[in-house]
Amino acid sequence: MKKLLMFLFSTFIFLCLNFFACSKNDDVESKAETPKKQPADAAKIIVDKIKTPIEKARAVKKVEEDRLKNIAEQ
C-alpha cells in the first residue's frame, strides 16, 4: 500500500510539473515580436545619438552669431 501511494504521489507531481511547464505563456509571444521591433528601435536610437550633438552645435553657432551681430550693431 505504501508503494502504491508513493507511486501515485510521484505520478501526480510529475503530471503537475508537466502541465505547468507546457502551459501557454503570453510573455513568449511578446518576446518573439521584439526582434522585429529591435532594428527600428536601434536605428532610432543611433540617429538620435548622432543628431543631438549636431543640433547642439548648430544652436551654439546660432547663439554665437547672434552675439557677434549684437556686438557689431553697438
- Any idea where the domains of the chain sit in the sequence? 36-74
* CA nearest neighbour of 38 among 28, 46, 26: 46
End-to-end CA distance of the chain: 107
State residue 64's pLDDT score: 94
pLDDT tens digits, residue range 3-33? Answer: 888 899 999 988 878 777 665 655 555 555 5
pLDDT tens digits, residue range 26-69? Answer: 555 555 555 666 777 888 899 999 999 999 999 999 999 999 99
